[in-house]
Structure 1
Amino acid sequence: MKRLLPLLLALPLMAQAQSAIERQQEELHLLRQGWFQQTPPDAGHAASRPGGMRDSGQDGVGLLLHDVDMYFEGGIGFHSPELKGWLVPLKTGEPVDFDRPQDMRIEVSEGEVILNPQQLANLFNQRILAYPQSMLRNFSMSLDGDRLLVSGEVQPLGIGPWLPLRLSGGVKLEGDEILYQPDQVKVLGVPAYGAMSLVGLHLDSLVRLERPGALLRDNAMRLNYHQVFPLVGIDGHVDAAWLDDKGLHLRFARPAGSPAPRFEPPTQAGPSYVWLQSGDLKIFEILITYSQVLLKAEQPGQTLVFNLKDYRKVLSTGITQVNEDGTFFMRVPPYSNDTTSARLVSSAAVGSP
């Protein structure tokens, strides 16, 4: 009887503990249903295979940029007031891996990007002109209304001294290419375009430029926006391009009749953020399935700067929080792209004066 009494007294406590465990398991079951719920912003990217804990069955991750400075590497990038799209792995069944950006593409549905004069100059100096045989180098750019002014150096036919070069002109959209066609060309401060036109010469007869996504033909520099940025290709349709005091604007438009993507960023997102919704994402070697990942500026009033190539540096000093619904919040501190060293490397690659 003495042994039975403690057991009888313990039964209510055991029942309470069992009840608490059961409640906990029920709550966990409900949470799991939320964690593994797929909400693709675009029905065209719904799961193509049965999902599980390690694979959502969906190829790609929904991408929403809102007031973000997005860089691919170094100082090459743009500002986006808003852009909606999809990060798509090149290999079916693989997650989107931020450590292997060359294995994915950005499929833009709609939105706008703006390249300011410095970002345009970085695109040329750090990528388009950054090869040993380049006959152009050290571009700097400024804007005069709807005209782009370019200062740099040219080595005609790839021989002799480097000469000061000045270009001025507008841009237009032609198919998948952005055309910069200067109507004023000066070498050593002497107007050259008129003289060249009199003898039937064009810039491409003096300077050769044929790089991934960039081509000089006649007097026009042609930039293919699908190919010209490093690391990742960009799909989508640009239906308008123009210059103003902010820079070069490219407006992406979805196909006529297609529904608008439906993103559901958290209310805590704030004014400047990157929202990654649904699909499988690999970041810091951590696999996040059924993604709900928010990258937001650390302080109100700041613009989020995100560099795809250096994402670990961008995020490593931030604060990460995981909510019960499985949402990852990352508060990102200010990040500065050091483009000075990249410009020096670019100049060294094409030789010294």
Structure 2
Amino acid sequence: MKRLLPLVLALPLLAAVPAWAQTAIDRQQQELQLLRQGWFQQTPPEAGHAASRPGGIRDSGQDGVGLLLHDVDMYFEGGIGFHSPQLKGWLLPLQAGAPVDFDRPQDMRIQVTEGEVILDPQQLANLFNQRILAYPQSMLRDFAMSVDGERLLVSGQVQPLGIGPWLPLRLSGSVRLEGDEILYQPDQVKVLGVPAYGAMSLVGLHLDSLVELERPGALLRDNAMRLNYHQVFPLAGIDGKVDAAWLDAQGLHLRFARPAGSPPPRFEPPTLAGPSYIWLQSGDLKIFEILITYAQVLLKAEQPDQRLVFNLRDYRKVLATGITQVNEDGTFFMRVPPYANDAPAQRLVSSATDGSP
């Protein structure tokens, strides 16, 4: 009897343990359910991009990911890219139902709703040297560019008709917008330092009679170089409407206009995003083979006095040495350190103190 007494006294305590544990599990599951409601909440910046199919854990039902650039140097590959003070739009997969996969940028397009991009003289030169002129039969090479007021100055080398020696070339002219093309029309041409345009015009010759240039998104016709901004950049094509183009000391500006009558996109970046960041909102995103549904992803400069440099081709190298944090609401914060891009040295921005997580 004495041996049974401790056991009898302990029975109520033993019976209470499972009930207490079950209560804790229920409370945890309730909290998890509330968090999931936030994780799987779709907030597309534009109503026209709402989910087109029922959503689930591995598919939000929305095609594309909302894109907001704020004071970012965005590169496609190598030194080919631009600076954007601000740009709003979408990353759209070419295949409906597929996530936006950063490891397959050739399978997406960038649809710009509104904003501005600036190609500085070095970025313009990179676009020509690393893409437009980068083929064996090119008759032009080694472009360097500068801006003088509203004129674009180009120096390089030319091989007329593709034969003979390479000769020094100097061009000077204006830039204008014509439909979906940016036209550079030099009115001063010098080969070996001798003015050539006047003599050529007297006999009815044009630049395209001496030099052939027909590349994806780039064409030399008469005396004008035509760049189609939808096609000229590598990897991902660009959709959207440029309504103004101009030159100044910063370089070539392209302004994208929102379609007439459409409401402005409503992006909701974290309040502590800092002065230089990329915000990806809603839709399905694949980074490092990790699928992020109902995306809320912030890529921000590591320090508040740095400008974020992001290279689409080398995004793994850009992000690999950074710090990633996941908040309870499902937001991914990625602090991005300075990236050694094949481009001008990273520039600094002024800002208030950044107190983000």
Size of the aligned set, in residue pairs, is 340
1:215-234 equivalence runs, <5 A: 215-234=219-238
- Secondary structure, in 3 states, of the residue corresponding to 1:268? coil
What are the superposed Cα offsets for residues 238-277 of structure 1, whole Å, 9 maximum, x if unpaired?
A: 0000000000000000110001110000012100000000
- Secondary structure, in 3 states, of the residue corresponding to 1:267? coil
Alpha-carbon offset, residue 12 of structure 1: 4.1
Rounded Cα–Cα distance in structure 2 between residues aligned with 1:147 and 1:82:
25
Residue 24 of structure 2 corresponds to: 20
**Could you tell me which of 126, 131, 136 is aligned with 1:132?**
136
Rounded Cα–Cα distance in structure 1 between residues aligned with 2:342 and 2:96:
35
What are the superposed Cα offsets for residues 175-228 of structure 1, whole Å, 9 maximum, x if unpaired?
A: 000000011100000000100000000000000000000000000000000000
- Secondary structure, in 3 states, of the residue corresponding to 1:127? helix
Residue 338 of structure 2 corresponds to: 334
Rounded Cα–Cα distance in structure 1 between residues aligned with 2:9 and 2:172:
97
TM-score w.r.t. length of structure 1 = 0.95
Q: Does 1:113 align with 2:107?
A: no
Rounded Cα–Cα distance in structure 1 between residues aligned with 2:8 and 2:216:
84
Alpha-carbon offset, residue 2 of structure 1: 3.5
**Could you tell me which of 92, 98, 101 is aligned with 1:94?**
98
Mapped contact 2:122–2:343 kept (Cα < 8 A): no
Identical positions, percent: 86
Segments of 5+ residues of structure 2 without an aligned counterpart are: 345-357
**Could you tell me which of 144, 154, 161 is aligned with 2:158?**
154
Alpha-carbon offset, residue 14 of structure 1: 3.6
Amino acid at match of 1:336: A
Alpha-carbon offset, residue 86 of structure 1: 0.3
Rounded Cα–Cα distance in structure 2 between residues aligned with 1:4 and 1:168:
100
Runs of 4+ in 1 over 4 A off after TM superposition: none
- Secondary structure, in 3 states, of the residue corresponding to 1:31? helix
1:41-190 equivalence runs, <5 A: 41-190=45-194
Residue 303 of structure 2 corresponds to: 299
**Could you tell me which of 243, 257, 261 is aligned with 2:261?**
257
Residue 347 of structure 2 corresponds to: none
Residue 348 of structure 1 corresponds to: none
Residue 250 of structure 2 corresponds to: 246
What are the superposed Cα offsets for residues 294-352 of structure 1, whole Å, 9 maximum, x if unpaired?
A: 00000011000000000000000000000000000000000021359xxxxxxxxxxxx
Residue 198 of structure 2 corresponds to: 194
Segments of 5+ residues of structure 1 without an aligned counterpart are: 341-353
Mapped contact 2:284–2:291 kept (Cα < 8 A): yes
Rounded Cα–Cα distance in structure 1 between residues aligned with 2:340 and 2:126:
14
Residue 344 of structure 1 corresponds to: none
**Bigger CA drift: 20-29 or 57-66?**
20-29
Query: C-alpha root-mean-square deviation of aligned residues, in Å?
Result: 1.0
Q: Does 1:36 align with 2:36?
A: no
Amino acid at match of 2:221: R
Does the C-alpha gap of structure 1 residues 70 and 42 become closer, same or farther in structure 2, counting only changes over 3 Å? Answer: same
- Secondary structure, in 3 states, of the residue corresponding to 2:341? coil
Rounded Cα–Cα distance in structure 2 between residues aligned with 1:4 and 1:236:
78
Amino acid at match of 1:245: A
Mapped contact 2:123–2:343 kept (Cα < 8 A): no
- Secondary structure, in 3 states, of the residue corresponding to 2:272? helix
Alpha-carbon offset, residue 169 of structure 1: 0.7
Q: Does 1:314 align with 2:318?
A: yes
